[in-house]
C-alpha cells in the first residue's frame, strides 16, 4: 500500500489539473480565465505556511527531546521547502496580478506580507550558514524558527485582514464563511490536500538524502 | 466538458511538467532506499 501512495498522489494531482480546467467554472468578477491560477497559487501559499509552522514544531522537538540531529534537519528542510513554495506562490500571484491589476507587483499588503515572511526565513538559512558548530547552530536555528510561530500567522492571516487590500477575499472570509461556487471549492480543497501531501513527500526525501550525506561524510572522516 | 478549446494545451503542458517532477521524485525515492540498505 505504502509503495502505491506516490502513484495515488500522481493521479490526485493530475485529476486536480484536469478539474481546474474542465470541472470548476470560471470565478465571477475575474478577467478572462485568470481565476484558474487560484488552484495552484492558494495551495502553494498554504503549503508555505504549513512548512513554516511544521519547522517550528520540529524546532520545539529539537530543543525538548535531547537535541536530536534529525529534528534539526527536519526543521531546516521544512524551511527550505517553505521558501520554495512561497516563491512559487509569489510568482503565480504576480502572474495573476499582471492580468487583473495590470502590474506584476504593487506592494499590496498580501504580496508584501508574504515577501517579508520569505525574507524572515531566508535569514534563517543565512543564520545556519554562519555558524559552524552543529550543536550551537541547531540551538540558534531552533530558537529563530520558534519565533516563526508568532511571525508567520501574523503575516499570513492577521496582516491581510486588518489592512485594506485589492487582493480577492481569502477562502475563508472575515466573517468566517466560504463564499464561492461549490465546484471551485472542491477543486481548491483537493489541490490543497494534494500539494500538502507533495510537500511531506519531498520533505521526507530531502531529510533522508541529507541523513545519507551526513552518514557518508562521517564514514569518510 | 469541452475539450476542444486552447485549454487542452495548457492542461497537457501542466501534466507533462507534473509527471516529469513525479518521476524524478520516484526515482530519487528508489535510489535512496537502495543506498539506505547498503551497509
Q: Between vectors from CA A79 to CA A188 and to CA A56, what angle results, nearest 5°?
A: 95
Helix axes B7-37, A182-220, angle to 10 degrees: 30
**Residues 20-39 (A) with a CB less than 8 A from some CB of B:** 21-23, 33
A104 in reach of chain B (CB within 8 A): no
- Residue B4: pLDDT over 60: no
Q: Which of A6, A17, A212 sits opposite B15 (nearest CB)?
A: A17
pTM of the model: 0.90
Helix (H) or strand (E) holding A130: helix A109-130
Collect all residues of chain A within an 8 Å Cβ-Cβ radius of residue B29: 6, 205
pLDDT given at position A72: 95
Across chain A, mean pLDDT equals 89
Q: Are the Cβ atoms of B10 and A212 closer than 8 angstroms? A: no
A143 in reach of chain B (CB within 8 A): no
B35 in reach of chain A (CB within 8 A): yes
Separation of CA A69 from chain center: 23
The grid coordinates listed for B6 are 486552447
- In angstroms, rounded to a whole number, what is the distance separating the alpha carbons of residues A73 and A150? 21
Query: pLDDT tens digits, residue range A63-97?
Result: 998 889 999 999 999 999 999 999 999 999 999 99
Query: pLDDT tens digits, residue range A168-185?
Result: 766 666 666 667 788 999
Q: Are the Cβ atoms of A17 and B7 closer than 8 angstroms? A: no
Per-residue pLDDT of chain A (221 residues; tens, 9 = 90+): 577 899 999 999 999 999 999 998 888 778 888 888 999 999 999 999 999 999 999 999 999 988 899 999 999 999 999 999 999 999 999 999 999 888 999 888 888 889 999 999 999 999 999 999 989 999 999 999 999 888 888 887 777 777 777 777 666 666 666 677 889 999 999 999 999 999 999 999 999 999 999 988 888 87
Buried b (16+ CB within 10 A) or exposed e, A146-169: bebbebbeebbeebbeeeebebbe
Q: Are the Cβ atoms of A209 and B28 closer than 8 angstroms? A: yes
How many helices (H) and strands (E) in chain B? 1, 0
Spatial neighbors of B9 by CB under 8 A, at least 6 apart, are none
Q: Which residue of B has its CA nearest to A13?
A: B18
- Report whether A46 contacts A196 (CB < 8 A): yes
Amino acid at each position: 500500500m505504502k509503495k502505491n501512495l506516490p502513484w495515488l498522489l500522481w493521479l490526485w494531482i493530475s485529476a486536480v489539473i484536469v478539474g481546474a480546467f474542465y470541472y470548476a467554472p470560471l470565478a465571477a468578477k475575474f478577467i478572462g480565465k485568470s481565476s484558474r491560477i487560484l488552484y495552484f497559487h492558494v495551495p502553494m501559499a498554504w503549503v508555505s505556511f504549513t512548512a513554516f509552522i511544521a519547522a517550528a514544531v520540529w524546532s520545539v522537538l529539537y530543543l525538548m527531546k535531547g537535541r536530536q540531529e534529525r529534528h534539526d534537519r527536519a526543521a531546516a528542510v521544512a524551511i527550505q521547502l517553505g521558501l520554495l513554495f512561497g516563491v512559487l506562490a509569489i510568482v503565480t500571484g504576480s502572474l495573476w496580478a499582471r492580468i487583473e491589476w495590470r502590474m506584476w507587483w504593487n506592494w499590496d499588503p498580501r504580496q508584501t506580507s508574504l515577501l517579508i515572511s520569505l525574507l524572515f526565513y531566508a535569514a534563517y538559512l543565512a543564520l545556519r550558514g554562519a555558524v559552524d558548530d552543529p550543536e550551537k547552530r541547531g540551538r540558534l536555528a531552533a530558537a529563530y524558527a520558534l519565533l516563526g510561530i508568532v511571525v508567520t500567522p501574523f503575516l499570513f492571516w492577521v496582516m491581510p485582514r486588518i489592512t485594506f487590500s485589492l487582493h480577492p477575499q481569502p477562502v475563508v472570509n472575515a466573517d468566517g464563511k466560504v463564499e464561492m461556487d461549490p465546484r471551485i471549492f472542491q477543486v481548491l480543497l483537493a489541490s490543497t490536500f494534494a500539494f500538502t501531501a507533495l510537500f511531506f513527500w519531498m520533505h521526507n526525501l530531502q531529510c533522508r538524502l541529507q541523513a545519507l550525506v551526513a552518514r557518508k561524510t562521517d564514514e569518510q572522516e | 466538458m469541452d475539450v476542444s478549446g486552447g485549454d487542452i494545451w495548457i492542461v497537457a503542458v501542466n501534466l507533462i511538467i507534473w509527471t516529469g517532477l513525479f518521476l524524478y521524485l520516484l526515482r530519487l525515492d528508489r535510489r535512496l532506499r537502495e543506498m539506505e540498505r547498503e551497509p
